């Protein structure tokens, strides 16, 4: 389906109604698990070791009745569909096997802060005959109009196969498995077979805008991108890809479209991904639980599981400290200090002192968008430079008292002449952040100086959204559009500062910070897809002017001292809804030197405000006269 490039509207939302799912299931042991259908008694199996993952983990078994599974998942989905700023966090896990049938398919929807994942060693170990979908949210007129996916954040789908079956749905819905999402949504290790995968919901009344997203380690036959403004697909296989609005990036993707005609269509294609590490995943090794930790790779193309088990190592779950909301940081740090890894079960964790990840090779894995909320100005996660350390699947919220950082990756040698221990992160085994998300404001007032600061060398950031919220339920006196108050109260100076060398980001989304959104001081940095919105809410030009008189702050800045840096597929958008007269000099600011190379850049006006140039003094102006029409620079310099 062809969709013209839309002019993006504000992410207007109504107040979220927190849903509390009660009486969902009888608990068997600890994790919520539905009883099998009585008509088909299962053969006796050796019991799995007792495992307490908390009440927000639903473990499904293929012997269960399809109707019972759907009823249980629908209860969660119904609670989470509009719970954008609420406290619900869920993991829905499928044991290996087949779910649904050709005549009774299993058709599920995924709401906010929900993880849906298979528990097999391979995506082929779990088959869902049916669909796993996300539709537009309709925000006006009692949920019947203004239907968009712009706010469809915070959800995860991974490690399973979808055999697309729309039996029982209407004709439009039968046409695809719909995954209409935006930022902080990942699809990893998924095979979509027998039908289309649509990244927009063209069946719900318009305008149908979407602003995501991220796919990795996945195979799909036909992908309909539709109205997605930007997207990164990494290390995957696609049969075909249609449409693109502003910025569609492919790295190491078999079947990726040709990008030679950029910007029409707006494709950016890298034959191989320069450095990658797939996200760790929970699985069942027979009857025992384990975590597979993929190894880092360089110059790769295609899926990690195409020829068997994803390369890496398997850790028994006994090697993990399984944490639950309410547990003290002191106890978590004791476990980490003893050499345990950390599994964060779904929920909200109030963190009043830093969780300290000091040992190289430590794995911190969050389930169901487990969320760390800063208290008393703490930095929730302090991560020491270490080879093979992985932080994955964690959301970090700023608190009401100013924090220095939300996540800090420290330099191993603290500037004392280089890491000679062999324990520091390296090109062969980089410290990795996967699906780590940051939020300043939204559910409550938030304050931070720099959300994510990376001081170590050889760090890989594989998909992150660093967001100073442009809307929320903080109950400002002016309502959710009380932007004068938002600017003064929900404060965030910078989203990301990179001081380390040899840092790579694949899927970097940074939005709405009050000065430069991203500052890159380290050498040999690389970014594959950068998406940025400048803040919506500066009250005056004076609030959005640098000390030297430069109008505004660029969305992406490479330090003048840097000699080598490369970016593929970058966009910076302006929407000064609080004061349309505000001007920003340029979207990207970099030193002009042969070693600093930027490929396929754009700026665009979303409805108010002006950006004069795309990069430095190059590129056309975007303003209220050309809303929704990007200014492109194919290559710089």
Give the 3-state secondary structure of residue 337. helix
Yes or no: say if 82 and 106 are a contact pair by the CB < 8 Å rule. Answer: no
Parallel, antiparallel or unpaired: strands 297-300 and 273-276: antiparallel
Dig out the tokens for 625 from the structure.
């006269």
Query: Among residues 614, 559, 560, 558, which one has the least CA distance to residue 586?
Result: 614
Q: Active site residue: 533, 566, 585, 635, which one?
A: 533
- Quick one: CA dihedral 315, 317, 318, 321, positive or negative? positive
Query: What's the pLDDT tens digit per position in 498-537?
Result: 999 999 999 999 999 999 999 999 999 999 999 999 999 9
* Token couple for 543: 């609030």
Our measurement of the distance from residue 32's CA atom to the centroid of its chain's CA atoms, rounded to an integer in Å, reads 26
Q: What angle do CA 610, 616, 622 make, to 5 degrees?
A: 25
- Residues 61-114 pLDDT 10s: 999 999 999 999 999 999 999 999 999 999 999 999 999 999 999 999 999 999
Residues 227 and 221 sit within 8 Å (Cβ to Cβ): no
Distance CA 305, CA 220 (A): 14
Rounded CA gap, 117 and 91, in Å? 8
Distance CA 493, CA 487 (A): 11
Residue 68 and residue 13 in contact, taking contact as beta carbons nearer than 8 Å? no
Residue 216 near residue 158, CB atoms below 8 Å: no
Tally the C-alpha atoms within 13 A of residue 35's C-alpha that lie toward its C-beta.
Answer: 9
What does the alpha-carbon distance between residue 596 and residue 590 come to, in Å, rounded to a whole number? 8
385/392 Cα distance (integer angstroms): 16
Flag residues of the chain having pLDDT under 70.
Answer: 1-50, 412-422, 476-483
Is 585 a known active-site residue?
Answer: no
pLDDT at 32: 56
Q: Which residues, at least 6 apart from 415, have a Cβ–Cβ distance to it below 8 Å? A: none
- Measured distance CA(19)–CA(619) in Å, rounded: 47
C-alpha neighbours within 13 Å on the C-beta side of residue 221: 11
Measured CA to CA, the distance from residue 489 to residue 492 in angstroms comes to 9
What burial letters (b/e) apply to 251-289, b meaning 16+ CB within 10 Å? bbbebbbebeebbebbbbbbebbbbbbbbbbbbbeeeeb
In this predicted structure, what is the pLDDT of residue 423?
72
- 3 state SS of 331: helix
pLDDT at 139: 87
- Three-class SS of 556-592: EEECCCCCCEEEEEEEEEECCCCCCCCEEEEEEECCC
**Adjacent-strand bridge partners of 183:** none
Q: Distance (Å, rounded) from C-alpha 444 to C-alpha 432?
A: 29
With contact defined as beta carbons under 8 Å apart, do 229 and 247 qualify? yes
Closest CA to 573 of 310, 329, 230, 280: 230
Asked if residue 195 lies in contact with residue 167, where contact means CB atoms within 8 angstroms, the answer is no
Dist. CA 553–CA 497, nearest whole Å: 14
Local structure of residue 295 (DSSP, 8 states): P
What CA–CA distance (Å, rounded) separates 435 from 466? Answer: 11
Any bridge partners for residue 533, and if so which?
Answer: 511, 573
φ and ψ at 175, to 5 degrees?
-75, -10
Assess contact for 614 and 620: CB atoms under 8 A.
yes
Cβ atoms < 10 Å from Cβ of 592: 12
User: By three-state DSSP, how is residue 273 classified?
Assistant: strand
For residues 367 and 91, give the distance between their C-alpha atoms in angstroms, rounded to a whole number. Answer: 6
Show the 3-state SS of 292-331: EEECCEEEECCCCCCCCCCCEEEEEHHHEEEECCCCCHHH
Query: What span, in angstroms and rounded, lies between the C-alpha atoms of 201 and 479?
Result: 29
CB 460 within 8 A of CB 296: yes
Q: Find all residues with CB under 8 Å of 90, minimum gap 6, and list them.
A: 56, 57, 58, 76, 80, 113, 114, 115, 346, 368
What is the distance between the alpha carbons of residues 537 and 540, in angstroms, rounded to a whole number? 9
- In SS3 terms, 524-563 reads as CEEEEEEEEECCCCCCCCHHHECCCCCECCCCEEECCCCC
- Looking at residue 21, what DSSP letter applies? -
The answer to whether 353 touches 380, Cβ cutoff 8 Å, is no
Q: Residues near 416 by Cβ (< 8 Å), separated by ≥ 6?
A: none
Provide the pairing of β-strand 247-251 with 273-276.
unpaired
Give the CA-trace dihedral at 403, 404, 405, 409, to 10 degrees: -140
Q: From the CB of residue 55, how many other CB atoms can be counted at a distance below 10 Å?
A: 18
């Amino acid at each position: 389906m062809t969709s013209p490039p839309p002019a993006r509207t504000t992410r207007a939302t109504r107040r979220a109604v927190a849903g509390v799912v009660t009486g969902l299931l009888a608990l068997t042991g600890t994790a919520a698990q539905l009883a099998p259908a009585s008509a088909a008694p299962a053969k006796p199996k050796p019991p799995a070791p007792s495992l307490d993952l908390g009440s927000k983990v639903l473990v499904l078994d293929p012997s269960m009745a399809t109707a019972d599974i759907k009823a249980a998942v629908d209860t969660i989905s119904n609670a989470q569909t509009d719970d954008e700023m609420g406290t619900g966090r869920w993991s829905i896990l499928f044991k290996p096997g087949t779910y649904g049938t050709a005549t009774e398919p299993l058709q599920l929807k995924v709401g906010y802060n929900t993880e849906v994942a298979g528990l097999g060693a391979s995506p082929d170990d779990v088959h869902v005959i049916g669909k796993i979908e996300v539709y537009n949210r309709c925000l006006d007129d009692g949920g019947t109009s203004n239907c968009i996916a712009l706010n469809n954040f915070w959800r995860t789908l991974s490690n399973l196969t979808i055999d697309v079956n729309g039996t029982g749905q209407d004709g439009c819905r039968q046409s695809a498995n719909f995954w209409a999402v935006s930022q902080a949504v990942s699809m990893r290790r998924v095979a979509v077979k027998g039908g289309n995968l649509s990244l927009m919901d063209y069946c719900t009344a318009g305008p149908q805008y979407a602003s995501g997203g991220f796919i990795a380690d996945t195979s799909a036959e036909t992908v309909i991108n539709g109205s997605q403004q930007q997207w990164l697909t990494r290390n995957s296989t696609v049969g075909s890809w249609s449409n693109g609005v502003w910025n569609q990036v492919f790295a190491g993707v078999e079947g990726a479209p040709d990008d030679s005609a950029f910007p029409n269509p707006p494709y950016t294609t890298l034959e191989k991904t320069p450095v990658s590490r797939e996200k760790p995943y929970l699985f069942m090794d027979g009857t025992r639980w384990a975590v597979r930790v993929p190894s880092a790779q360089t110059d790769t193309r295609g899926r990690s599981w195409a020829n068997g088990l994803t390369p890496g190592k398997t850790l028994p779950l006994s090697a993990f400290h399984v944490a639950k909301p309410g547990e003290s940081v002191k106890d978590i740090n004791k476990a980490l200090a003893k050499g345990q890894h950390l599994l964060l079960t779904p929920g909200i964790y109030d963190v009043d002192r830093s969780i300290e990840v000091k040992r190289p090779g430590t794995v911190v894995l969050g389930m169901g968008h487990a969320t760390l909320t800063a208290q008393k100005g703490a930095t929730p996660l302090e991560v020491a430079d270490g080879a093979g350390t992985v932080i994955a699947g964690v959301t970090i919220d700023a608190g009401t008292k100013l924090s220095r950082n939300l996540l800090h990756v420290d330099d191993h040698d603290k500037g004392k002449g280089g890491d000679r221990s062999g324990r520091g992160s390296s090109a062969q085994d980089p410290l990795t952040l996967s699906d780590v998300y940051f939020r300043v404001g939204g559910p409550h007032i938030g304050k931070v100086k720099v959300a994510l600061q990376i001081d170590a060398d050889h760090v890989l950031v594989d998909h992150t959204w660093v967001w100073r919220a442009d809307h929320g339920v903080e109950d400002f006196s002016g309502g959710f559009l009380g932007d004068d108050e938002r600017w003064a109260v929900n404060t965030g100076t910078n989203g990301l500062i990179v001081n380390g060398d040899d840092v790579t980001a694949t899927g970097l989304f940074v939005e709405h910070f009050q000065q430069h959104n991203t500052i890159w001081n380290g050498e040999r940095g690389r970014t594959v897809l950068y998406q940025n919105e400048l803040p919506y809410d500066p009250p005056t030009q004076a609030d959005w002017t640098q000390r030297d008189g430069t109008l505004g702050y660029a969305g992406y800045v490479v330090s003048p001292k840097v000699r080598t840096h490369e970016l593929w597929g970058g966009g910076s958008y302006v929407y000064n809804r609080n004061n349309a007269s505000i001007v920003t000099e340029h979207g990207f600011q970099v030193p002009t030197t042969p070693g600093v190379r930027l490929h396929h850049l754009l700026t665009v006006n979303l409805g108010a405000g002006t950006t004069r140039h795309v990069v430095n003094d190059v590129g056309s102006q975007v303003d209220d006269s050309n809303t929704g029409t990007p200014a492109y620079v194919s290559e710089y310099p």
